[in-house]
Structure 1
Amino acid sequence: MKNTYIIALLQLPKIGPVLANKIIKSIPFQIRSSEDLNSALIAAQSRLKRIPEFSKEVIDEAVRNAEDISLKAKHLDIHVISIYDENYPKQFLEILNPPVVIYVQGNLNTLKQKRLLAVIGAREPSKFGLEAGYNITKHCLKQGAVIVSGLAQGCDTMAHTCALENNGKTIAVLPCGLDKIFPKQNRTLAQQILEQDGVLLSEYPPGTAVQKNYFIQRNRLQSALSDGVIIIESEIEGGTMHTFKFAKALQQPIGVLHHPLEYRTIKSAGNTAILEANQGIKLDSSNAINDFISMTFDQPMRTLTAVESEQD
């Protein structure tokens, strides 16, 4: 099945990745034209709920939009990878609503690495958080970790930069199209990631601007892609806590930077809460980091777990 028609499905109103995947799986034929797409929708309506009727004009427009997206991706050297392609990260199948299509720039071999570790945290971390986070990230890089983060300001920027400065590899998962780098001030960082065989990844097609709910969706992919998660610094209600919840549901090792009393503020309240609830591994020494790395990368393969997010 051509990826263009999978993209076209997602261009239709009220069709998200979960429903699109169900539609494709419910039909016994390949979609190779607008007519096939219409037939697939009609056939799926008898088996699945929530599929509205679409006019020929709406379907044709969705296909045209998909063709434009495919051409734009090709022009930008963006790989369009569907859930049915061999290069699709199998880790994403662990969540209930895996993206049906992802858009990837950079070295696909880096995406296939086995020792992927998410390093995440607040956009406005403390000086202690940044310095300690850099040292932890550097330590993990020496153990062969590929650093996954979200290209946001603060802790994410620190994690990606640390990887680049220490000849490591890094993957940035974005909440927007890969031609709409967010935040704008990290465009140079994004280019440096590509220049050092890293990867930019998004489930949103080129031209898609960031939206508030896309951050949570991005966070689920950061967690799912990685073998474990390290939280550098987070407030109680910080966006980082969404990634923590996804990692917890996936039963992943979760490392948490321990802040000594003199460095504890509202910015690290999330770290304190996680550790006090015994829901994370305290990272307060080189030995603790080594133990966390061993636990993360030497554990048996995870069993598939359906982890739901807030959007189809």
Structure 2
Amino acid sequence: MKKLLILMLMFSFYGKVFSQTERYIYQTEVNPDTINLVNMKVENTFLDIKGNQSLFISESKLLRDSLTTVLRQQGITETKKSKKDKSEFPKLPNGKSIQPTFFDYFITKNRDDRSVNFVESIGSKQVYYQEDRKMNWEISTQVSDFNNHKVQKATMNFGGRTWTAWFAPEIKIADGPYKFLGLPGLILKLEDDKGDYRFSFVKKINIEKAFSEIIKPEARKSTRINFQGDKASVRMEMVKNKDPEINFDSFNRMNQRNGGMNGGFGGQQGMNGMPNGDMGGQPDMQMGNPSSQSPSNSGSVMNFGNTNPIELSNKY
């Protein structure tokens, strides 16, 4: 009954926060530890395009955030306790749990002015900064084929890693996974020189009603250098004020223990071929289906065993 209620609430909520979207789905592989020999973790990340605006977000975070939004609309700000006195987030209507993610944040981009905003949540509060580093791509003449598209090679040093991107000039969207944009075509494949992060385009889907993340008017604006300190300040204020929203945040941080680390400065979920836009038993990636919405709100850098952040340096 509780799952059915959540399902109904999500249907009724669509008209307020959902809109038409072009979604580019990437299979994303992450090496969670640069010291120990471990298997690559795999999850889905999305690049949602609407006009000149885009949103980069992981599937798990989108699931968690949308469900959290619905619960907050009903005045539910506390997670229930299990028999072992651990916080439990409500399961999806299909009975499955939301998987941890290495990307517990979202990124918004405007391709007209090339602005990039990195946003994290602490409970219902947001802290964000605008990326201040230029992306100076070196475009090669080397071409190849990837996923039935002609692609061209480009490289760039960013965040302490050397990145190689393969973009499709035929897809006139100067965007890509994570913060990356500015190439004359959509980035279909992206990996760093250490082989720790790899984004591979799988498919595009059009969605009539997709959950939309936005930067709230009351969000705390920070800078890239002061970001961690401002997040800590917001968290301390919430704890001091005994804000009940901190319960969601505490649950989400605990839930990362088996999933990894915030990728700002630093879940495994298989692709299964994704027939019909879903994941072979996993939630529907279109997010037009309530069994595929997300809530994940984190406030600080997750460091539960993952020692391999996506950005190794805060200088470059």
Same fold (TM over 0.5): no
Greater helix content: 1
**RCO comparison, higher one (Cα < 8 Å, 6+):** 2
- TM norm structure 2: 0.22
Greater strand content: 2
